[in-house]
Amino acid sequence: MKTVTSVRSNIVANFVGKAWAAILSLAFVPIYIKLMGVEVYGLLGIFMSLTVMLSLLDMGLSTTLSRELSRLSALENSEQESRNLVRTFEVIYWGIGILIGISIVVLAPLITKYWINSTSIDHDTIEQSLTIMGLSIAFQWPGAIYSGGLMGLQRQVVLNIIRSVMVTMQHGGAVLILLYISPSIVFFFLWQSFIGLLTTLILAIWLWKLLPKSEWATRFDKELLIQNWQFASGMIGISVVSILLTQLDKIILSKMLTLEMFGYYMLAFNVANALNNLVTPIFSALFPKFTQLATSEDETNLILIYHKGCRLLSVLVLPVAITISIFAKDILALWLGNIVAAQNAHQILTLLMIGSALNTVMTLPYALQLAHGWTQLAIYKNIIAIILLVPLMVWMVQTYQGIGAAWVWIILNLGYFIFEVPIMHRRLLKHEMGKWYKLDVILPVIIITVIGLVARAILPVNASHIITLLGVLCTLALSLLAASWAVGYLNIKTLRVNRP
C-alpha cells in the first residue's frame, strides 16, 4: 500500500483545524462564564481534566495504529493487514468506551459527595452532570482510534475538515441551548454528548472509506495485536505516568480548592494548554514522515526534516508563549472583560505558559523516539519524575495553591529539557544535539524574551485597551519575524522532502 502526500499540506491542514478549534474554544469561554458563572466553569474544568486522565486507558493503541498504518503505507500488498488492524483496534476501543461510561455513572454519587467542593451548585445538578460526562466520554472515546488511523494514512486534510465542522457545532449549539433552552450545565453536557457521538461516527465512516480495498473480508485479528504489543505496551507506560504528572495538579486542586478558585486555575490552564494547538499539527504531520524515514533508514532526510520541524515549532510556538507570559494580566483582562478573573489567574498563567513552552519544544524529540519504536526513555524519565515531584507537588499546592502547582510544572519540563535530549541523542541522530539546543531552541528563546521584556517596559501600565492590544500584537509580530530570521527559517515550503 503506497500513499503520496505532502508534509506541507498536512501541516497547513492541521494548523487551520487546530487554529479554528482554539479560536472557538477561547472565544466562547467568556460567554460560558457569563451565562453559567465561574463556579460552573470549574465543573467544566473537571470534565476536561477527567477526559485527559482517562486517556491513560488509551493503551497506546491510537498511536500504535497511526504508526503502523504509516509503516504499511510504504509497503506493497498490505491492504488486508491494514483493514484487519483497524477492525481489531476498533473492537477494543468500543469496549473500553462502554466500560468508561459505566464506571463514571456508577462513581458519580461518590465523586459528588466526597470530592467536589461547591458553594452554589446543588449536589443533584453536579451528580447529573457527572453522569452525562460519563456518557460523553464514552461516546468520544472510540473517536481517538479513527483519528489515529486517518493521521497514519496521512489524510489529515479530511480529518481537520471534520473536526472543524464538529467543533463549530459543539460551541455554537451549546450557546444556543444556553440562551434559548436553559443556562444549565446539564443541558450543556447533553449537547456535548450528542456532538461526541456524532463526531465519532463520522470519523469511523471516513476512515473505512479511505482505507485501501481488499478482496477478503475484514476481521478481528488477535495476531496483529500480539505483533504490535511491544510498542503498544510501551505507550501504555508512557500514557499512565504522563497523565499522572500532567493531571496531578488538577486532581489535588479540585479537592483542595472551591469550584470558583479551581475555575480560575482552569482558565489559566486552558490558555496555556491552547499552545498545543500550535504543536499538534506539526507532530501529526511529521510523526508519520519520521516513521517512514526511520523504517527506510534514510537518516539524511530524517536529520533534515527533524531540524526544520524543530525550528518551525520554535518559530511558531515560542513567540506566542513568551508574549502571553509577559503580558498575561493584560491579555486576560482584554479577553474576559473581568478584572477580578484576570487578577486571580494572571500569575498562574505566566508560570503555566513558561512550563508549557518548555514542554512543546520536547515534542519532536519525543516523536523521533516513537518513530524508532523506542518507548523506554519516556517511561523511565516519567517514573523518575513521579518519584521526585509528586511529594513536591503536594507540598507546593498545600502551601501556595495554584501558583505552587504551576511552579512544579516548570520544574518538571525543565528537567526534561536538560536531561532527556542528551540521553536521546546518544542513541538517535548522535551528532545533532548541539544544533538542536543552540539553533533550534535557545537562540529564538533569547531573542523573543528580549523583545518581549523591552515591549513590556515601553508599554504604559494603564494604557487603554486598544493601545494594549496593539502593543501585544506588535510584540508578537516582531518576535515571530526576529525568530524566523535568527533560525534562517522563513518558508514552510522547505519542510517538503522527497516524496516516496
**Cα separation of 20 and 64, whole Å?**
27
Element (H, E) at 278: helix 276-295
Question: Exposed (0-12), middle (13-18) or buried (19+): which is 214, by Cβ within 10 Å?
Answer: middle
Q: Give per-10-residue mean pLDDT for the chain (500 aa).
A: 57 79 81 78 72 60 76 72 85 85 87 73 84 87 86 83 92 92 87 92 92 81 73 68 72 75 83 83 82 86 91 92 94 84 89 94 92 86 86 86 90 93 92 92 94 92 85 93 79 41
Q: State residue 293's pLDDT score.
A: 87
DSSP per-residue letters across 430-477 = TT-HHHIIIIIIIHHHHHHHHHHHHHHHHS-TT--HHHHHHHHHHHHH
Integer CA distances (angstroms), 29 to 34, 258, 266, in order: 9, 19, 11
Q: What is the per-residue pLDDT for 3?
A: 45
pLDDT at 418: 93
Q: What is the reported pTM?
A: 0.69
- What are phi and psi for residue 490, nearest 5 degrees? -115, 0
Count of positions (residues) in the chain: 500
**Cα–Cα distance, 134 to 123 (Å, whole number):** 17
Q: What is the pLDDT of residue 441?
A: 92
- The Cα–Cα gap between 321 and 295 comes to 34
C-alpha grid cell for residue 169?
457545532
Degrees to nearest 5, angle at CA 390 with 387 and 394:
150
Q: Are 131 and 46 in contact (CB under 8 A)?
A: no
Model pLDDT, residue 498: 40
**CB within 8 A of 176, min separation 6: which ones?**
none
pLDDT of residue 10: 74
Predicted confidence at residue 491, as pLDDT, reads 45
